[in-house]
Amino acid sequence: MTNFSLHVPSPLAVALREIRPGLCAAGGLSLFINLLMFVSPLYTMQIYDRVLTSRNAVTLVIISVIVGVLLITYGTLEHYRARILQQAGVRFDRLLSGPAFEAALSSALRARGSNHAQTLRDLDLMRDILSGGVIMALMDAPWAPIYIVICFLLHPLIGLVALVGAVAIVTIALVNERATKGLLLRASLTNTRAIDRLGSSLRNAEAIRGLGMGPAIRSWCTGIREEALGYSVSAGERGGTLLALSKFLRMAIQTAMMGIGAYLAINQEISGGVLFAASLIMGRALAPIEIMVAQWKSIVSARSAHARLERIFEENPPIVGRVRLPDVRGTVSVENLFVLAPGTNTPVVMGATFTLKAGEVVALVGLSGSGKSSLARALVGASPPAQGCVRLDGNDLRHYDPDQLGTALGYLPQDIELFSGSVRDNIARFRTDAADAQVTEAATLASAHEMIQRLPNGYMTDIGEDGVGLSGGQRQRVGLARALFGEPSFVVLDEPDANLDSDGNRALIRAIEGLRRDGKTVVIVTHRPNLLSAVDRMIIMQEGRIAQMGSRDQLLPSLVGPNVAPAPRRPVWDGGRAGPPASDPALLRRTRVDA
Judge contact between 508 and 481, C-beta under 8 A. Answer: no
Question: Rounded to whole angstroms, how far apart are CA atoms 373 and 350?
Answer: 13
Least confident among 439-453, 466-480, 550-564: 550-564
List, for residues 170-207, the tens digit of each pLDDT value.
Answer: 888 788 777 777 777 777 777 777 777 776 666 667 67
Question: Rounded to whole angstroms, how far apart are CA atoms 165 and 254?
Answer: 9
Question: In angstroms, what is the C-alpha Rg of the chain?
Answer: 35
Report the candidate in 365, 359, 360 with the shortest Cα–Cα distance to residue 529: 365
Q: What is the pLDDT of residue 64?
A: 92
Judge contact between 240 and 232, C-beta under 8 A. Answer: no
Per-residue DSSP letter, 344: S
Element at 6 (helix H, strand E):
strand 6-7
Q: What is the pLDDT of residue 203?
A: 64
**Is residue 92 over pLDDT 50?**
yes
* E strand segments, 233-377: 319-320, 332-340, 347-356, 361-366
Report the candidate in 512, 549, 552, 545 with the shortest Cα–Cα distance to residue 529: 552
Q: 195-201 long-range contacts, Cβ below 8 Å, gap at least 24?
A: 195/115, 196/113, 196/114, 196/115, 197/221, 197/224, 199/115, 200/113
Q: H helices within 267-295, ranges in order? A: 272-294
| Selection from 22-26, 275-279, 393-397, 505-509 with the highest mean pLDDT | 22-26
Query: What confidence tier does 100 reach under pLDDT thresholds 50, 70, 90?
Result: confident
Question: Rounded to whole angstroms, how far apart are CA atoms 509 and 529?
Answer: 12
Element at 549 (helix H, strand E):
strand 545-551
Q: What is the pLDDT of residue 253?
A: 87
Q: What is the pLDDT of residue 566?
A: 45
In Å, what is the CA distance from 115 to each residue of 28, 108, 193?
40, 9, 8
- 174-191 burial: b if 16+ Cβ within 10 Å, else e: eebeebbeebbbbbbebb
Average pLDDT over residues 460-474: 80
Per-residue DSSP letter, 382: S
Q: Rounded to the nearest 10 degrees, what angle do helices 272-294 and 214-266 cross at?
A: 160
Question: Rounded to whole angstroms, how far apart are CA atoms 52 and 55?
Answer: 5
Question: Rounded to whole angstroms, how far apart are CA atoms 299 and 177?
Answer: 10
How large a percentage of the chain has pLDDT more than 90? Answer: 18
Judge contact between 147 and 285, C-beta under 8 A. Answer: yes
Q: Rounded to the nearest 10 degrees, what angle do helices 39-46 and 272-294 cross at?
A: 160
Question: Rounded to whole angstroms, how far apart are CA atoms 495 and 367?
Answer: 13
Q: H helices within 316-417, ranges in order? A: 372-379, 402-408
Contacts with 168 (C-beta within 8 Å, 6 or more apart), sequence order: 249, 253
Judge contact between 390 and 332, C-beta under 8 A. Answer: yes
Question: Rounded to whole angstroms, how far apart are CA atoms 550 and 292?
Answer: 69
Q: What is the pLDDT of residue 321?
A: 55
Question: Rounded to whole angstroms, how far apart are CA atoms 245 and 248?
Answer: 5
First-residue to last-residue Cα distance in the chain:
38
In Å, what is the CA distance from 48 to each residue of 59, 258, 283, 373, 493?
12, 15, 19, 83, 86
Judge contact between 380 and 405, C-beta under 8 A. Answer: no
Average pLDDT over residues 251-259: 87
Report the candidate in 478, 465, 390, 496 with the shortest Cα–Cα distance to residue 427: 478
Per-residue DSSP letter, 38: T
In Å, what is the CA distance from 171 to each residue of 142, 146, 157, 176, 584?
16, 19, 21, 8, 85
How large a percentage of the chain has pLDDT more than 70? Answer: 88
Q: What is the pLDDT of residue 417?
A: 81
Question: Rounded to whole angstroms, how far apart are CA atoms 415 and 410?
Answer: 15
Calculate the average pLDDT of the chain: 81
Element at 389 (helix H, strand E):
strand 387-392
CA count, 13 A, side-chain hemisphere, 478 = 34
Contacts with 587 (C-beta within 8 Å, 6 or more apart), sequence order: 529, 530, 579, 580, 581
Question: Rounded to whole angstroms, how far apart are CA atoms 216 and 204?
Answer: 14
CA count, 13 A, side-chain hemisphere, 351 = 5
CA count, 13 A, side-chain hemisphere, 330 = 21
Q: What is the pLDDT of residue 202?
A: 67
Average pLDDT over residues 453-475: 83
Q: How many residues does this entry show for the chain?
A: 595
List, for residues 500-540, the tens digit of each pLDDT value.
Answer: 777 778 888 888 888 888 888 999 998 777 788 888 899 99
Question: Rounded to whole angstroms, how far apart are CA atoms 568 and 532?
Answer: 10
Kind of pairing, strands 347-356 and 6-7? unpaired
Query: What confidence tier does 113 reach under pLDDT thresholds 50, 70, 90?
Result: low
Average pLDDT over residues 43-59: 85
Q: Taking the model in full, what pTM does it have?
A: 0.71
What domains lie within the chain, and their CATH numbers?
7-315 (1.20.1560.10), 332-592 (3.40.50.300)
List, for residues 469-486, the tens digit of each pLDDT value.
Answer: 788 888 888 999 999 998
Q: What is the pLDDT of residue 1?
A: 38
Kind of pairing, strands 537-542 and 361-366? parallel
Question: Rounded to whole angstroms, how far apart are CA atoms 521 and 256?
Answer: 84
